[in-house]
Amino acid sequence: MKKIIKLQKKITFKKITEDFLVYKKQQIKESTYFNYAYKIDKYLLPAFEDLTLEEMTTYDYNRFSEVLLEDMQISNKFLKDILLVLKSILRYAEQRYDLKMKLDLINLPRVRMQDLRIFSERDKRKIKEFCMNSENTRYIGIGICLYTGMRIGEICALKWEDIDLGKRLIYVRHTLQRVYVKPNETKIIIDSPKSEKSMRTIPMSNIVYTKLKEIKENYQKDDFFLTGDKSVYMEPRGYQYTFKSCLKKCKVPYRNFHCLRHTFATDCISVGMDVKSLSEILGHSDVGITLNRYVHSSDKMKKRYLEKLA
């Protein structure tokens, strides 16, 4: 038995990653598979390729993290994602070969939630007025995101068949993203959203419903919403440029596209929406994510609630 374990410890990290990807391929979404493969090829194999499992039980993973942060200038968030993939691979090795890989040696960096950047009331009003008075669906899509909290990949994948004007609902069924299939090669994937709860139904506000009803007759149900064509889509990178152009036309300082989602969520909390409902609309996998990200009580708010009790 000891001889078998000794042989198992001589297996290289490269061999384990190959087996790991084969094992995972049938269990995860295509985009997730390519995400794993990219991080392995780009960051993990250059560092660990020829190391044996035995050598990896004493490896200085903190030094590996320092190299990525300092030399490759990656963020704490991205480093955490890479280390989570590494842990998944070593956990797979533990289960397959009945080994103890000392996963506690891999310290995940603490990712601090920076203050969320949102659009001011004045800038938000400018964007809404410009987008919802436009006839260009690419600008209307930006307005929809500000009224629904949809992610950029979700609005890019949205088709008219996902819009039910009778029930006044938008069905978020797909997301469109460009993923790395190799370190220097990418491809577009249209897949289900990132988690089961990301597949959701979002009610339309009156302004969204009125605008969509106004332009609906110009499109077929299998047309992509942003392009008005069933075979031509708008990819997120290109839509970022449209968004930048929109802000310029509105004379609004630049914020990234995700700021629309943060602004929507913050507005929902400010008007008293309960966290469970907001979490479902945003498609968060856990209510705790919504709570930690958007619900921050101030002294003024606490005082107001205590006055109500009195």
Place of tokens 């400018």: 126
Is the pLDDT at 194 greater than 80, yes or no? Answer: no
Is the pLDDT at 285 greater than 90, yes or no? Answer: no
CA distance 191 to 153: 10
Strands (E), 101-184: 163-164, 169-172, 175-182
Output the pLDDT for position 7: 59
Output the pLDDT for position 248: 97
Q: Does residue 38 contact residue 199 with C-beta atoms inside 8 Å?
A: no
Q: Which residue has the higher pLDDT, 301 or 282?
A: 282
Length of the chain: 310
Output the pLDDT for position 237: 93
Determine how many CB atoms are found less than 10 A away from the CB of residue 65.
20
Where is average pLDDT lowest: 31-35, 156-160, 218-222?
31-35
Characterize 169-180 residue by residue with b for buried, 16 or more Cβ atoms within 10 angstroms of its Cβ, and e for exposed: ebbbbbbbbebb
CA distance 192 to 52: 37
* Residue 299's pLDDT band (cuts 50, 70, 90): low
Burial class of residue 215, CB neighbours in 10 A (0-12, 13-18, 19+): middle
Q: Both tokens of residue 260?
A: 């629309």
Q: For 224-257, write each residue's pLDDT tens digit.
A: 999 999 999 999 999 999 999 999 999 999 999 9
Output the pLDDT for position 184: 79
CA distance 286 to 171: 20
Is the pLDDT at 9 greater than 80, yes or no? Answer: no
CA distance 260 to 166: 26
Burial class of residue 10, CB neighbours in 10 A (0-12, 13-18, 19+): exposed
H helix or E strand, kind and range, residue 272: none
Residues with Cβ within 8 Å of residue 201, at least 6 apart in sequence: 169, 170, 171, 172
CA distance 101 to 68: 22
Output the pLDDT for position 10: 81
CA distance 141 to 128: 11
CA distance 174 to 172: 6
Compute the average pLDDT of residues 161-167.
97
CA distance 70 to 192: 35
Q: For 44-92, write each residue's pLDDT tens digit.
A: 999 999 999 888 888 889 889 998 888 788 888 889 999 999 999 999 9
**115 DSSP 8-state letter:** P
Where is average pLDDT lowest: 4-8, 69-73, 198-202?
4-8
